[in-house]
Amino acid sequence: MLLQLSTWIDVENYLKNNQSIIIPIGSTEQHGPNGLIGTDAICPEFIAREIGKRKNIMIAPTLAIGMAQHHLAFPGSITLRPSTMISVIKDVVNSLMCHGFRFFYFLNGHGGNVATLTAAFSEIYADRSLTQNNQNLSIECYLRNWWQGDDIQKLSKELFDNAEGAHATPSEVSLTWHCYPEAAKPMNFDPMIAPNGTFTDAIHYRKVFPDGRIGSNPGLASIEAGKRIYECAVNAIQQNYQEWIDNLKKT
């Protein structure tokens, strides 16, 4: 169930039996010469939508702009400040809490979001505790990166071995091509595997990683690989979501 394609009556009826919601969250940032700028939002969005169909779970609109300041030296990248992103996440969760949602499963597509998401969760919990609001009803915010899990890691290793890298990976590029095959841009790279390293701000990032890749070779990406990664990720995330729900019922 997509929240944006539901009526308020649909949501009211849903909440009678289920107070959980999956919130895809990603980023709008460069992903190398052949990766889509929307990669980090596309991946969790399509995975979440499939899980929503299978499990009849409410799926929130994707939060598609994240913490991506280090990519701003590449055209098309957009960022929120960490403080702005924390405010956005708090407002989204608090809005949904007003209606009766209590359990918020954030399906994340961007590693750069993790620290800010975690901080936002701490702010949400602190506000609730300090105001002594609705103490009889607990809430929980949960973070899961779509690429987590032994099965997904094993498949990425099988497909791309040490060319997977850390950014503009062939796994995420392949997954987006499965979602949007018309946008696939196969190409070769020199060097095939990009350098690894650390970075600080946007200027530093572009100096160290001039084509945007980190340790990866997205020249290995394919629509066929994307289909396998998608199916594996959907199964893994669906299982993780169900385990999370089952554990909540025990508390």
What pLDDT was estimated at residue 134? 60
How many DSSP H helices and E strands does the chain contain?
8, 4
| Nearest to 49, CA basis, from 228, 233, 246 | 233
How far is it, in rounded angstroms, from Cα 93 to Cα 251?
A: 21
Could you read off the pLDDT of 84-113 as tens digits, one per residue?
A: 999 999 999 999 999 999 999 999 999 999
**Pair of tokens at residue 146:** 């779509």
What pLDDT was estimated at residue 249? 82
Could you read off the pLDDT of 157-170 as tens digits, one per residue?
A: 999 999 999 999 99
Q: What is the mean pLDDT of residues 131-141?
A: 77
Could you read off the pLDDT of 203-227 as tens digits, one per residue?
A: 999 999 999 999 999 999 999 999 9
What pLDDT was estimated at residue 132? 67
Could you read off the pLDDT of 27-48 as tens digits, one per residue?
A: 999 999 999 999 999 999 999 9
What pLDDT was estimated at residue 138? 86
How far is it, in rounded angstroms, from Cα 11 to Cα 13?
A: 5
Q: DSSP assignment, residue 60? A: P
How far is it, in rounded angstroms, from Cα 127 to Cα 109?
A: 26
Q: What is the mean pLDDT of residues 68-73?
A: 98
What is the value of pTM for the model shown?
A: 0.96
The burial of 190, by beta-carbon neighbours within 10 Å (0-12 exposed, 13-18 middle, 19 or more buried), is given as: exposed
To the nearest whole number, what is the mean pLDDT of the chain?
96
